[in-house]
Amino acid sequence: MEIGKVGIVGAGQMGNGIAHVFALSGYNVILNDISEDALSAAVRQIEGNLERQVTREKITTDARQEALERISTTLKLPDLGQSDLIIEAATERETIKTAIFEDLMPHLAPHTILTSNTSSISITRLASRTDRPEKFMGFHFMNPVPIMELVELIRGIATDEETFKSCLAVVDRLGKTAASAEDFPAFIVNRILMPMINEAVYTLYEGVGSVSSIDSSLKLGANHPMGPLALADFIGLDTCLAIMNVLHDGLADTKYRPCPLLTKYVEAGWLGRKSKRGFYDYRQDPPVPTR
């Protein structure tokens, strides 16, 4: 199926990045959120990111303007119903995602493909709550979306081949690389990445090393571009905890038990960069460790 119009649910960090890359690749995008402020902030973020690409000579001024003209916004979820492809990029909570799909269903065109940008939740289970499990799959972008080249494509047990091929063609058109993952908790990237981050938090919790020494060790000793605790702050500690809980619950293995210190930070509202405090305090420049 030829996909031309794309609906995106959620105008946060992931949603606005997804809108950016789709519009730049020639798709007409309609971006939805429950907050007018969030939509306005998303458009400003997209404008700024496109302008940076112009400055770095990655795109032309004309391409920037054409991309912006392809993006529209709405507070009304039913407005997305006639899209060829819908990507849900809301908060990583299954109840919220399920409610979104249930609200969308009465307004969908027969051919509309539903996808979720979930980083860990069962695609089969999400699909089962819709009227088209065969036209449902996981479409997991990496953050920041305009820069990261990978997209995980996850088929649920009912996803048909036509849906998979349509989404694969979209990834190709976006100029990104698809990795096909089976529908098991956290898929590929987060199945490997989150336990590493969780172990880094345990290393801090047990006093083996400080925030600075842990991050420096992985940057200089393993050639990682960013230390695991700084990366956790970038992702969001609430998201890290949610994914660890999905792994722990879904695989029933104690090696996925979330570190109590990670839970404590989330309980304190110290979620990383987005709340200005996490393993680092971002109210200062440069940020300083909080432990």
What angle separates helix 36-55 from helix 61-69, to the nearest 10 degrees? 160
Is 274 flagged in the annotation as binding? yes
Is 58 flagged in the annotation as binding? no
**Which of 71, 75, 83 shows the shortest CA–CA distance to 38?**
75
Is 14 flagged in the annotation as binding? yes
Letter for the amino acid at 60? T
Name, in order, each residue with C-beta under 8 angstroms of 169's C-beta and a sequence gap of 6 or more. 3
Is 15 flagged in the annotation as binding? yes
Q: How many CA atoms lie within 13 A of 46 on its CB side?
A: 31
For residue 286, cis peptide bond before it (omega within 30 degrees of 0): yes
Gap between the Cα atoms of 113 and 153, Å rounded:
13
Is 92 flagged in the annotation as binding? yes
Angle at 152 between CA 52 and CA 174, to 5 degrees: 40
Q: Which residues are catalytic?
A: 119, 140, 152, 190
Is 252 flagged in the annotation as binding? no
Is 183 flagged in the annotation as binding? no
Q: Locate tokens 């969780």: which residue?
A: 198
Main-chain phi, psi angles of 30, to 5 degrees: -120, 120
Residue list, annotated binding site = 10-15, 33, 92, 97, 119, 143, 274
Residues tagged in the binding site annotation for NAD(+) = 10-15, 33, 92, 97, 119, 143, 274
